[in-house]
Structure 1
Amino acid sequence: MYDHLTVVDHPLVQHKLSLMRDKSASTAKFRQLLREISQLLAYEVTFDMEMEEVEIETPLCKMMAPKLSGKKMALISILRAGNGLLDGILELIPGARVGFVGLYRDPETLQPVQYYFKVPEDLADRLVVVVDPMLATGNSAVATIDLLKKAGATNIRFLCLLAAPEGVARMKEAHPDVPIITASLDKRLNDHGYIEPGLGDAGDRMFGTK
Structure 2
Amino acid sequence: MDNPVGMDNKPIARTNFGSNFKIIPTNDQIKELQTVIRDRSTSRSDFVFNADRLIRLVVEEGLNSLPYGDMDIITPTGETYNGLKFLKGNCGVSIVRSGEAMEQGLRDCCRSIRIGKILIQSDEDTHEARVLYAKFPEDIADRKVLLMYPIMSTGNTVIKAIKVLKDHHVKESNIILLNLFCTPSAVSMVTKAFPLMIVHTTEVHPVAPNHFGQKYFGTD
Identity, % of aligned positions: 24
8 Å CA contact retained: 1:72, 1:96: no
Q: In the alignment, which residue of structure 2 is the partner of 1:167?
A: 186
8 Å CA contact retained: 1:123, 1:151: yes
- Do structure 1's residue 209 and structure 2's residue 209 form an aligned pair? no
Please, what TM-score do these two structures have when normalized by structure 2?
0.84
Q: In the alignment, which residue of structure 2 is the partner of 1:6?
A: 22
- 1:122-161 matches, cutoff 5 A: 122-154=139-171, 155-161=174-180
CA–CA distance in structure 2, aligned partners of residues 88 and 37 of structure 1 = 9
8 Å CA contact retained: 1:22, 1:199: no
Q: In the alignment, which residue of structure 1 is the partner of 2:103?
A: 86
Instruction: Give the deviation of 1:62 after TM superposition.
Output: 4.5
Instruction: Give the deviation of 1:18 after TM superposition.
Output: 1.2
8 Å CA contact retained: 2:68, 2:85: yes
Instruction: Give the deviation of 1:105 after TM superposition.
Output: 1.4
How many residue pairs match? The answer is 201
- Do structure 1's residue 177 and structure 2's residue 196 form an aligned pair? yes
8 Å CA contact retained: 1:77, 1:131: yes
Name whichever of 75-84 and 13-22 sits farther off: 13-22
Pick from 106, 117, 121: which aligns with 1:104?
121
Q: In the alignment, which residue of structure 2 is the partner of 1:186?
A: 205
CA–CA distance in structure 1, aligned partners of residues 66 and 75 of structure 2 = 24
Q: In the alignment, which residue of structure 1 is the partner of 2:210?
A: 200
Return the letter of the residue paired with 2:138: E
Please, what TM-score do these two structures have when normalized by structure 1?
0.88
Q: Which runs of 5+ in 1 are unaligned?
A: 188-195
Instruction: Give the deviation of 1:31 after TM superposition.
Output: 1.4
RMSD over aligned CA atoms reads: 1.7
Return the letter of the residue paired with 1:205: K
